[in-house]
A and B are shown apart, each in its own frame.
Chain A
């Protein structure tokens, strides 16, 4: 059996955030197109403040009809229960449960977020029914190895699962909710939120398809009403400053790989750092390059970290430094600074601020 898997929808009022309901609609359509009639929402279907379950109930009766929604409560919607819904195609798993969808399928252990419990502890309680390498985990929690970078939108640590637990219980695949950024590593998969909730959740969205017989996980792109890109550019007062900036912005936009029709969905936040000989001209060039794109919270490009530097001799030094930094090998260690960071530091040295 194939299951469509998503998480962290964070539904609130449909009027306030219609795009989140739309994301579920797109997901339902894609699931139907793939011949899938079961959608797993691995936690945080609702936002923490939201108790408006009726809209989702109605959604399941209308747009979501024909799809069975298996919902795991997450840390934001820990309180949701089956009794909160009337639609027949909603199943809330408020307690850990093993489901074998077809006789030949691998069992799937669904683990909702449980306060002050570790994922391993819950798995252990079901271990007797789980053959190492022959089961699938779907839950809401944090993969410790992926925890090194804090998630500013989700402070705190929730139901962590470590390498030890994975090695001990050997799930064939692990699908987790909680981290909004789509992530895949080894057997661990985060589908990410189907609709970005914050400017820091950038790039195209996706959902996962889990084949429960073989535990294979595939990623599928998912449409979204909005797509966020949070970009930063380093400005140098080089001779051909305008071209320098324009090239950077064009390359960055190309790297998004967004089709033209999706351009209207894009919301961007742009911050510029560095030194320019003409801030006004810089603002004009940036505005020109990004024409047609909407800015997140209508802020416009942030040039507050751009300083004026008219000294051509220092600019020449900066140009030479840029040339040298570009010759450096790419960083191997993820903690090493990127070329832009090195260059910015060099610029501070050159311009003395």
Chain B
């Protein structure tokens, strides 16, 4: 069903106060200047196509409507209630129309160009738009970026320049990878269990360590007590007394040594001078004997005196004269004694010579040589005298030293008894002292060991513990526990650090504060990942979809080129060309140049005269319009003094071509102020009868 304008109603539009037209097949609207012809064209354009800017129309306001049939079961009136233009309806009815069909349907005077290129009026885009798949391919491809055009797909992955969508996809993919890596980290590292285990382990180790510490404090207490006990025992060993005894013993032993030496010397001296006393007596005797006088008393005197004294004694006893008796008795004894001495001297004198001889014999015997006389004897005596006296001196000294030594011994034995509690002889004292010294040394060693052990525990006495914690102290276990706690704390710190670092990494992604709870953080992170995956999926789908479309379009483009060639060589276009130009019967578009040809030559479109160009372009328009719409349903063509610049001969051909188009069912509106053109239309129109009308505009209409 053909699309036709069935009604045009205009009120108060520029100079037009009222205009009403029920169009037929061919409609000529004639009006001189200022009659509102241009206003009427603009009204139609504005009302049907909402167009204005592209035709540089005035901003007029007014009322009116245009009714179109063939679009729906009923006549559609424009402007429509929903502000849809005729293009919207045409798009529905003729899918794949070029985006500006009004360029084909409306031709204003001196605006015959199809494209914006004013030099040639037609370009490849225009040709594609009107001769191929109505520009669908380019229309679709315009939605595909240049980046994707340069991209290829390998195993569902786009490979192309690192910009645009590809760059976005790669960034998105990297981000998704990073989020997934973080997810894996969460899976691997987020663990309440490990931290909890470490916490439990540390607690357990600390308990054991605490018990071990108590054991240490208890051990320190015990060691301290033992040390005190040892010190007491050490004190009981009486180290000072021992040292004192040792010193005294040394003196004692020294003295004993000295004494022995002296005794030896004294014995030697004594032996050397053993004959000295005899010799001294012998010499004295020898001298005495040689020099002795006789006694002065008679031999009877002393017996008589003795008899008297005896008599006196008897008498005094008888007369009880005891004093006289005692005196008499004393006189008796003295007299008797003197007499006895005299008797002995007398006897000695008698033996003197014998004795001297005996002395010499004895001398020889004692000294091993004969005595030559008293001088000899006195010389020997003199030589022995110093030895003898030295011996005597030594003997005295030895006696004194023996006393001292003895005193020292007694003192030592007394101290030793004090030291050991039992009698100890000086001879056994060194052994006793040695034993005691050993005991002291052993004690010292024990004290030293205990002290070292206590010091090693490094427990302040105020921290000593008196109660047994029930576990024995083990330095090794203590150290082990200490190390294990340190190790577990390190591991826990590492675990917490790892968890904290993980949380920071997740917070960086979700832009949350580190204080946010893990539950909330994980939820947000999960949503973030989902969002990112969605973006990635959408982007990749878009790229793959567009690229696939592009590849399909590439295939279709080959067909398109063929379509352009076919379009320019199509029957409607060539017929219009031949009819309008009465010369050219072929067209071609190669190397961005449109050429027209007659039987003999080809001509560059750009080199044609203005009139010829108008004819060619009008031929293209009519041909395109027929090709696009005519194959489906014919529409209407509005020509606003489109032939005014053509010469008269061409005008006839062009009017003839327009009427030829109407014979295909196309509705024609021609607006003109040109009487010649009007006459041409009137002449041709008469043959159409009611299907041709002429409407003369008047300002008052």
Contacts and interface: CB of A to CB of B under 8 A. Distances in A.
B519 A314 contact: no
A164 B190 contact: yes
B140 A350 contact: yes
Interface residues of B, number: 55
Interface in B540-565: 540-542, 544-546, 548-549, 551-553, 555-556
Given A324-B551, A336-B540, A344 B545 contact: yes
A120 B553 CA distance: 57
Contacts of B526: 147-150, 157
Contact of B191 (A165, A324, A347): A165
Interface string B155-199: 110000000000000000000100010010011111111111100
Contact of A163 (B187, B195, B196): B187
Interface string A269-300: 00000000000000000000000000000000
Given A125-B200, A317-B553, A117 B192 contact: yes
A258 interface: no
Contacts of A165: 191-194
A121 B186 contact: no
Contact of A120 (B139, B193, B556): B193
B549 to A, nearest CB: 5
Nearest to B517: A116
A123 interface: yes
Select the residue from B134, B189, B541 with max chain A CB neighbours within 10 A.
B541
Contact of B95 (A164, A311, A345): A311
A85 to B, nearest CB: 29
A349 B546 contact: yes
Nearest to A317: B552
Contact of B523 (A125, A149, A156, A348): A156
Interface in A79-127: 116-125, 127
Given A120-B196, A144-B190, A346-B546, A352 B139 contact: yes
Interface stretch (B45-53, B224-232, B332-340, B531-539): B531-539
Interface string A13-38: 00000000000000000000000000
B157 to A, nearest CB: 9
A162 B182 CA distance: 13
Select the residue from B183, B195, B197 with max chain A CB neighbours within 10 A.
B197
Nearest to B540: A337
A345 B190 contact: no
Contact of A124 (B96, B196, B544, B552): B196
B690 interface: no
Contacts of A157: 518-520, 522-523, 526
Interface in A144-160: 144-145, 147-150, 155-158, 160
Interface stretch (A49-57, A224-232, A238-246, A327-335): A327-335
A162 B184 CA distance: 9
Given A317-B553, A335-B176, A349 B156 contact: no
A342 B136 contact: no
A158 B648 CA distance: 91
Contacts of A123: 193
B133 interface: yes
B529 interface: yes
Given A149-B530, A329-B156, A336-B537, A168 B193 contact: yes
Contacts of A341: 537-538, 541
Contacts of A344: 541, 545
Nearest to B524: A157
A127 B519 contact: no
B545 A348 contact: yes
Contacts of A148: 180, 183, 526, 529-530, 533
Select the residue from A150, A313, A335 with max chain B CB neighbours within 10 A.
A335
Contacts of A325: 544-545, 548
B527 interface: yes
B540 A310 contact: no
Nearest to B544: A342
A132 to B, nearest CB: 12
B193 A346 contact: no
B144 interface: yes
B441 interface: no
B545 A352 contact: no
Given A329-B155, A345-B542, A163 B188 contact: yes
Nearest to B155: A329
A325 to B, nearest CB: 6
B592 interface: no
Contacts of B541: 337, 341-342, 344-345
Interface in A251-267: none
Contact of B140 (A156, A317, A335): A317
A120 to B, nearest CB: 3
Contact of A158 (B196, B519, B552): B519
Nearest to A163: B187
A147 B180 CA distance: 11
Contact of A156 (B194, B197, B519, B551): B519
A125 B198 CA distance: 11
Nearest to A337: B541
A124 B200 contact: yes
B196 A314 contact: no
B118 interface: no
Nearest to A348: B545
A345 B544 CA distance: 8
A346 B186 contact: no
A320 interface: yes
B545 A349 contact: yes
Contacts of B191: 118, 120, 162, 164-165, 168
A349 B190 contact: no
Nearest to A316: B556
Contacts of B190: 118, 144, 160, 162, 164
Nearest to B97: A311
A124 B193 contact: yes
A345 to B, nearest CB: 3
Nearest to A149: B530
B192 A317 contact: no
Contacts of B192: 117-122, 124, 165
A235 interface: no
Interface in B504-528: 517-520, 522-523, 526-527
A189 B195 CA distance: 25
Contacts of A200: none
Given A336-B156, A346-B545, A313 B96 contact: yes
A203 to B, nearest CB: 21
B323 interface: no
A118 B193 contact: yes
A343 interface: yes
A314 B136 contact: yes
A164 B530 contact: no
Contacts of A313: 95-96, 133-134, 136
Interface in B372-388: none
A310 B156 contact: no
A353 to B, nearest CB: 10
B143 interface: yes
B92 interface: yes
Interface in B128-153: 133-134, 136, 139-140, 143-144
Nearest to B527: A150
Interface of A: 116-125, 127, 144-145, 147-150, 155-158, 160, 162-165, 168-169, 309-314, 317, 320-321, 324-325, 328-329, 331, 335-337, 341-350, 352
Given A118-B192, A335-B536, 14 more contacts: A124-B197, A124-B200, A125-B200, A164-B188, A169-B193, A314-B95, A314-B96, A314-B140, A328-B156, A329-B156, A336-B537, A346-B548, A348-B545, A349-B140
Nearest 4 A/B pairs, CB to CB: A120-B193, A118-B192, A311-B95, A121-B192
15 contacts: A118-B518, A124-B194, A125-B196, A158-B519, A164-B189, A168-B193, A311-B95, A313-B134, A314-B140, A317-B140, A320-B555, A345-B542, A345-B546, A347-B545, A350-B549
